[in-house]
């Protein structure tokens, strides 16, 4: 019988140097603390904290944050995400739109990213609440550009149309997350690459004036060629902006989270970025530390500069 000392120990591979984030200091630390205060005082949730984003120090030190609305529990349980899963979370806070608008105004933002939890418990998938949050921010700060990182609304196309109708939105984002082959391994069974692609296609059809955006994680077991193929599929539905970043397990592999399959080099991320631009993406953020909302305002500005 094996003793405790003989049992195998699961250890993570050492992080490459390019994945080691630095804490804020000096002026960035002052801005970081001001950002935290605005978030905490409003009783708001950020995906920066809930998803344990490695860029929290960088973004909060620049005075930017990605707000997460409709609760802090998600009705889905994807194997890359640290957000808690509940089948029936509390109803979305009716006061959240105004609290969100307060925080955006206090932070004096130029661009705000609003991301959401899945609300499969709601008849419209949460679309009405998402819309009210975007409208409240726009009404309070009409010069702020707004990006909504939406759920797939469980394929409720009427809810999507109602949400986007004349909505004051600059960027509609929805993430395919991983290559199609890995859907069943990585994402909740209710999500799929095909459904996400259709979501992006319909959003662009409904609002041709709106920039669309999606994101891919790497290091989940995909091949380099599968990443290129996924990018081609995104361009086939006229997605404008693309982000690619390294998957980092937010907890211990073997609990709920998938282990990291590989650490991709910055040089490979650069090669994918070049390929994406050649495909016609208006702007691309590709790198080990990139996440879907990484420096989102700069990405939107770059896309608009690239427009003829």
Answer whether 98's CB lies under 8 Å from 53's CB: no
pLDDT per residue over 140-157, tens digit each?
999 999 999 999 999 999
Q: Which CATH architecture has domain 23-306?
A: Alpha-Beta Barrel (3.20)
pLDDT per residue over 259-297, tens digit each?
999 999 999 999 999 999 999 999 999 999 898 888 888
- pLDDT, mean of residues 156-171: 98
- pLDDT, mean of residues 79-101: 91
Q: In the sheet that 66-69 helps form, which strands lie side by side, from edge to edge? A: 45-46, 66-69, 111-116, 145-149, 171-173, 211-218, 241-246, 283-286
* CA atoms of 36 and 121, how far apart (whole Å): 30
- CA distance readout (Å), 27 to 33, 41, 62, 173, 273: 10, 21, 9, 31, 32
Tokens found for residue 223: 């091949």
* CA atoms of 221 and 180, how far apart (whole Å): 11
pLDDT per residue over 198-220, tens digit each?
999 999 999 999 999 999 999 99
Percent helix, strand and coil across the chain, each to the nearest 5: 40, 15, 45
Which distant-in-sequence residues (6+ apart) come within 8 Å of 67 by Cβ? 39, 44, 45, 46, 47, 100, 103, 104, 112, 113, 114, 115
């Amino acid at each position: 019988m094996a003793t405790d000392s003989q049992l195998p120990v699961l250890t993570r591979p050492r992080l490459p140097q390019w994945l080691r984030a630095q804490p804020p200091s000096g002026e960035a630390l002052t801005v970081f603390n001001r950002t935290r205060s605005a978030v905490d005082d409003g009783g708001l949730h950020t995906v920066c904290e809930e998803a344990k984003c490695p860029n929290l120090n960088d973004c909060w030190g620049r005075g930017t944050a990605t707000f997460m609305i409709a609760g802090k529990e998600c009705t889905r349980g994807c194997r890359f995400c640290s957000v808690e899963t509940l089948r029936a979370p509390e109803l979305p806070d009716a006061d959240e739109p105004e609290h969100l608008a307060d925080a955006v105004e206090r932070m004096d933002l130029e661009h705000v990213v609003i991301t959401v939890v899945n609300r499969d418990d709601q008849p419209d998938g949460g679309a009405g609440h998402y819309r009210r949050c975007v409208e409240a921010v726009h009404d309070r700060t009409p010069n702020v550009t707004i990006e909504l990182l939406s759920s797939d609304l469980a394929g409720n196309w009427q809810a999507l149309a109602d949400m986007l109708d004349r909505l004051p939105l600059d960027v509609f984002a929805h993430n395919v997350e991983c290559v199609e082959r890995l859907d069943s391994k990585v994402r909740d069974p209710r999500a799929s690459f095909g459904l996400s692609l259709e979501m992006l296609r319909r959003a662009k059809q409904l609002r041709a004036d709106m920039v669309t955006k999606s994101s891919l994680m790497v290091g989940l077991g995909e091949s380099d060629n599968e990443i290129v193929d996924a990018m081609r599929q995104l361009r086939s539905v006229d997605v404008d902006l693309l982000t690619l970043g390294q998957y980092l397990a937010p907890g211990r592999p073997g609990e709920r989270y998938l282990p990291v399959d590989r650490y991709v080099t910055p040089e490979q991320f650069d090669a994918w970025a070049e390929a994406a631009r050649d495909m016609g993406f208006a702007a691309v953020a590709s790198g080990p530390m990139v996440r879907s909302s990484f420096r989102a305002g700069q990405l939107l500005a770059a896309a608009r500069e690239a427009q003829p």
